[in-house]
Chains A and B, each alone.
Chain A
């Protein structure tokens, strides 16, 4: 469904003189991967490894330095603005920070209805139908109808992330990019949101591109996983294979660093008893 071929992205350095630039930063280096329809694809990497840059490239918020990204065979970089706008209705994103990604001056109703307004040529609706759709989405993500005309600052982090998910789902997309959707939430809320995402995928047949630095989350929700390190893809494959038989040194290091839920095996505990 989504195919990323040999994508590189170099951010130019500081302007030097009239035409020169200082040495740039290679955020993505020859990245290739494919995401299958109806599956969850996980992308793991530490901070600054290029995960978010890759999502920005998929959404065409950045231009590629080389390579191409195909969505159902169409090169995203070569679409006309109209075609791109149509594609945006089918390809949505949930952002990492639920506090910054909602407009503080808009009501929840207006936030969730916005994709319906923008894509009114694709999903033609009257104002009343839109409100009903928003209400349906609110209930679907586990919020209540009295939340409809409140403002984002009146909600908790987990509720805001649900609002972000409802907004992403409004225009009935088929592909959802989840850019660390749970990393800004505390652990109990993380589980709620992950369960919600899992349920929505089953109900709506969505394809997920799930970005995280948390291996536990990836293992819980993804079918396939790729590990990215300093802009390079170091390993990819089915989740079971990668977690049981990692071949790459960096992947092994990541897995070793995963906290074990068993408190008796905590390294802090062992150091204390020794």
Chain B
């Protein structure tokens, strides 16, 4: 019975493939989540290639054309032009870069910091848990936008500082989520089995617990992406965040405020872009939640 075959069997992918196709089938069941996925894919494409496809790249770099101020949306300028004669369509398209990148960075940092703190608090418990979670609770008591404004004001404006400021207010939510999930999983028998095998805590946390709690984290992240885009725009709107001439949706909206309501297009199109991005990420998040619901898993 201890014969070793000369050739190893080929890695059987069928099971994994079947799970994926099953997941995709569940996802397609709701056309709204497919719409969300499509818009998100389009936004990512635009963000990546915007500088090469916009009709007026010179306006993005800060160039003005005062002869062509406030032209209505039409064939030449799809979204019209603003007070400086810049093409709003080009600005909105390129503005997606800052919004999406900042949103992604905020969520990424929040997961990283919150995940590590939550996992350690949940796994070790006791006084480590108490200390870490009281710090987390403390941050949760402060309204996030106000804290972000205070941090951004202290650090100075700029994309990086804005991302840090928002991330500081966001990680506690992930710390709580991850802590709860880790506490739920660490009493499972396969964790006891790993301990009995002699696995150390880094291996148990990284190899056994984390892969089993990814679903709720991914769902929360995709739902949060929308709110992150919104928060970035809000900070841009109140003037903390991206400096001109870099276009950003919140800043565009803020500048256009003075031209309302006569030149409505300068504000409506950046607003629509924010609306569309937030909606798309929420639809995608809802779809992912349906797919990853543990009870729906085979």
Task: Give A contacts to B, CB under 8 Å.
Answer: 59, 61, 84-85, 88-89, 92-93, 95, 97, 100-106, 114-115, 118-119, 131-132, 135-136, 139-140, 145-146, 148-151, 153-154, 164, 167
Contacts and interface: CB of A to CB of B under 8 A. Distances in A.
17 contacts: A92-B197, A95-B193, A97-B189, A100-B188, A100-B190, A103-B194, A103-B211, A103-B212, A105-B211, A106-B208, A135-B4, A135-B8, A145-B8, A149-B15, A151-B15, A154-B15, A164-B193
A153 B298 contact: yes
Given A97-B189, A103-B212, A105-B212, A61 B3 contact: no
B2 interface: yes
Interface string B1-17: 11111001101110100
Nearest to B192: A61
A209 to B, nearest CB: 13
Contacts of A59: 195-196
B194 A114 contact: yes
Nearest to A94: B193
Contacts of B192: 61, 95, 101
A102 B189 CA distance: 8
Contacts of A88: 196-198
Given A88-B197, A149-B12, A153-B298, A139 B2 contact: yes
Given A84-B198, A93-B193, A149-B13, 15 more contacts: A61-B192, A88-B198, A100-B189, A103-B190, A103-B212, A105-B208, A106-B208, A106-B211, A115-B197, A136-B2, A136-B3, A136-B4, A139-B2, A140-B1, A146-B9
Contacts of B1: 139-140
Contact of B3 (A105, A114, A139, A154): A139
Contact of A89 (B4, B12, B190, B198): B198
Contact of B195 (A61, A139, A140, A151): A61
